[in-house]
Amino acid sequence: MSRTVVLVDAVRTPFGKAGSMYSGTRADDLMVRAMRGLLERNPKVNPGDIEDVAIAAATQTGDQGMNLGRSASLLAGLPNTVPGYSVDRWCAGALTATTSLAGAIAIGSIDIAIAGGVEHMGNHPIGDGLDPNPRFLAERIVEQDALAMGATAERLHDRFPQLTKERADRYAYNSQMKTAAAYAAGKIQRDLIPTAARIPEMGWGIATVDEPPRPTTTMEGLSTLKTPFRAAGRVTPGNSSGLNDGATAALLASEDKAKELGLTIKAKLVSYAFAGVEPEVMGFGPVPSTIKALAKAGLKISDIGAFEVNEAFAVQVIAFLDHFGIADDDPRVNPYGGAIAVGHPLASSGIRLMLNLARSFEEHTDVRYGLTTMCIGLGMGGTVIWENPHFTGGSK
């Protein structure tokens, strides 16, 4: 019999630009800091009672290799009785770590666990060490564009001409402005774990805020940026997420265990789904995964009152919104901004979406359901639907 799975808490390190403020910091140390910060915020949890740890990375080599779930757990000081494993579903790594552990909790195999994700894109650039099978292209299993995420975003513009560059730039501008407003109100900092950072030229420091946001962004400035993926294209560094370093961690439990220990409950997992699309239009993945997750939950898109959509590319977000008849500037969507502003350290981002959604649930007790969703390389999407434990009544 299935049990209710809850999100107890989630945190993250500040995100850095790839190879910048974390240039002298190991990826596994970023993950350890996030895990330690999560446990420090939840002293009612005995580390020895954690029954599994799943940590994601998209590039599982070097300081992101050696089974991060186990190695980071030992480095973080968890007892050696706590097992762990690593996860790879590219950008949806942390989201998949969460759903994998949630499945184990739901069937009663475990009661409490830690999910996480890390990506040090400074140490591990996209594609570093990959060796795609030549059959992919030789046998036309995928087109060349499928292996370059920016090119798949250009193909979304091709497929949906109404998704203009101006709309993408406007969405990106709004993401920067929402992030700046959230920072000014102290809404983002509260879930950031201060993290030691060593820059070889400057020595040690403490990172307390995200490095990537550009609050001085203007529409005029966005309109003049180059289009690196296609001549006269529409995808630019301004309407895309950057290359980033950072880690996230989440504490999951059965609802009964959370109540037994007196833990906070920030969200209740309702359903989740992953789906595939043509790899050449990777960014459309959140549409079918959301349709599947809604069907499994017995809900409609109109039942969702809060959305956290990963902003790998602005066009990918507005393609999702267009499909479901949601305005580009709908206030229910990414109210604290998104990855275009704060960054997208690949496998870590799914939990950033979860912690933002949990904060939206606290602010909007009239919202009953929310979702976290993201696109995934080689043509996939992942969606998790959550219920607001603070819901006091209302239409959604």
Instruction: Tell which residue, 98, 30, 29, has the closest CA to residue 272.
Output: 98
Question: What per-residue confidence (pLDDT) applies to 2?
Answer: 87
Task: Annotate 50-99 with DSSP letters as a single string.
Answer: --EEEEE-SS-SGGG-S-HHHHHHHHTT--TTS--EEE--GGGHHHHHHH
| Catalytic residue list contains 91 | yes
Question: What per-residue confidence (pLDDT) applies to 1?
Answer: 58
Distance CA 155, CA 153 (A): 5
Distance CA 134, CA 147 (A): 12
Asked if residue 351 lies in contact with residue 277, where contact means CB atoms within 8 angstroms, the answer is no
Low-confidence ranges of the chain (pLDDT < 70): 1, 394-396
> Which residues is 206 bridged to in the sheet?
196
Of 120, 124, 157, 375, the catalytic one is 375
Angle at CA 166, nearest 5°, toward 164 and 167? 70
> Which tokens hold the place of 183?
């920072």
Distance CA 106, CA 63 (A): 32
| Catalytic residue list contains 323 | no
Distance CA 146, CA 153 (A): 10
The domain locations on the chain are: 5-125+243-386
Of 91, 120, 124, 157, the catalytic one is 91
Instruction: Tell which residue, 68, 62, 72, 67, has the closest CA to residue 124.
Output: 62
Q: Helix or strand or coil: residue 211?
A: coil
Asked if residue 211 lies in contact with residue 15, where contact means CB atoms within 8 angstroms, the answer is yes
**Helix (H) or strand (E) segment spanning residue 115:** strand 112-120
Residues 6+ apart with CB under 8 A from 51: 82, 83, 110, 111, 112, 113
CATH architecture label of 5-125+243-386: 3-Layer(aba) Sandwich (3.40)
Matching residue, tokens 């906070």: 264
Angle at CA 334, nearest 5°, toward 337 and 33? 65
Q: Is the dihedral of CA 343, 293, 99, 364 positive or negative?
A: positive
Question: What are the tens digits of pLDDT across the range 47-105?
Answer: 999 999 999 999 999 999 999 999 999 999 999 999 999 999 999 999 999 999 999 99
> Which tokens hold the place of 371?
């979702």
Question: What per-residue confidence (pLDDT) applies to 199?
Answer: 74
Question: What per-residue confidence (pLDDT) applies to 241?
Answer: 98
Of 120, 124, 157, 344, the catalytic one is 344
The CA distances from residue 209 to 196, 197, 342, 348, in Å, are 12, 12, 10, 16
Q: Helix or strand or coil: residue 329?
A: coil
Question: What per-residue confidence (pLDDT) applies to 198?
Answer: 81
| Catalytic residue list contains 364 | no
Residues 6+ apart with CB under 8 A from 383: 272, 273, 274, 286, 289, 290, 292, 293, 371, 372, 373
